[in-house]
Amino acid sequence: MELTKITLSMIFLMVMLGLSTQHKHLMLALMCIEAMMLTLFMMLVLYTTTSLTMSQTPMPMILLTISVCGASVGLSLVVATTRTHGNDFLKNLNLL
């Protein structure tokens, strides 16, 4: 069980490092954020099954619901950016 926790923590840190190095495409950044959310979901499921508390049982489903809503907003932003600018390069966007 401890090996699983360490592995999930390392996956989360590696995805966070990947997110910090993605400077070109918006889609790659959104995929890194989704990988972080799935890792957090697995960590939360692991925690709630080992702690045996009934008060935290719905938390993984709430996190998964929020993650799906964020993914749909991100996908709509990628589609809108691609339609207006022709690609999803972050350097073409005027973010200021």
pLDDT at 86: 82
**Tell me: the pLDDT tens digits for 2-49?**
898 899 999 999 999 988 887 788 888 889 999 999 999 999 888 888
Strand partners, 25: 89
**Tell me: the pLDDT tens digits for 39-89?**
999 998 888 888 877 777 788 889 899 999 999 999 998 898 888 888 877
Q: Spell out the domains of the chain, with CATH numbers in brackets.
A: 2-92 (1.10.287.3510)
Contact 45, 65 (CB under 8 A): no
The pLDDT confidence band at residue 96, using thresholds 50, 70 and 90, is: very low
